[in-house]
Amino acid sequence: MVCHGNICRSPLAEGILKQHAEKAGLNWVIDSAGTSDLHVGEAPHTLSQKVAQLNGIDISSQQSRQFEKFDMERYDKIFVMDTMNYNDVMQIAGAEFDPSKVDLILNELYAAEKRSVPDPWSCPEEDYNLVFKMLNEACKKIVLRYSILDVQDTTIHYN
């Protein structure tokens, strides 16, 4: 899961997908990152943590990290929050970029429409709730779609 700073959207997406994967009994390694290094080492935004907690998910132990080109090898699928994040991942990955691995997360719900998850940074709590709802629906779809690939208890890595 990748967004700009790895403190609002992608930590929520990581926590939500982990919860759905665990409930489905899937052996997935799920992580998140940001395309910038502005918040490396920081915990998720307090409102992301609050909204996650209100929905039974604890993301307080997550720490922001920057996306690296080697993440293209490390992970089977990389979901980005918007087209800017997609372009940044492409630039960071350079020759390692594999377009078959990278997609906008909302394309899981709205195929090829290139919808973005809005960045709630400096917005009120209701915007974080909206982002949570969008990501929750997309993560449910991811589990349904990709769990078929995990039928032999293979580990699948998501970023």
Q: What is the pLDDT of residue 152?
A: 46
Q: Is the torsion defined by CA of 86, 88, 91, 96 positive or negative? A: negative
- At 128, give phi and psi (nearest 5°): -65, -40
- At 127, give phi and psi (nearest 5°): -70, -35
DSSP class of 157 = E
12: Cα separation from own chain's centroid: 7
Q: Structurally, how many domains does the chain consist of?
A: 1
* Alpha-carbon span 125 to 129, nearest angstrom: 6
- At 136, give phi and psi (nearest 5°): -60, -45
Tally the C-alpha atoms within 13 A of residue 116's C-alpha that lie toward its C-beta. Answer: 10
DSSP class of 42 = P
Q: Which domain holds residue 12?
A: 2-158
Q: What is the pLDDT of residue 154?
A: 45
Which residues share a beta bridge with 102?
78
Q: Which CATH number fits the domain that encloses residue 38?
A: 3.40.50.2300
- pTM for this prediction: 0.93
Give mean pLDDT in consecutive 10-residue pieces for the chain, a chain of 159 residues: 98 98 95 98 98 98 98 97 98 98 98 96 97 98 84 51
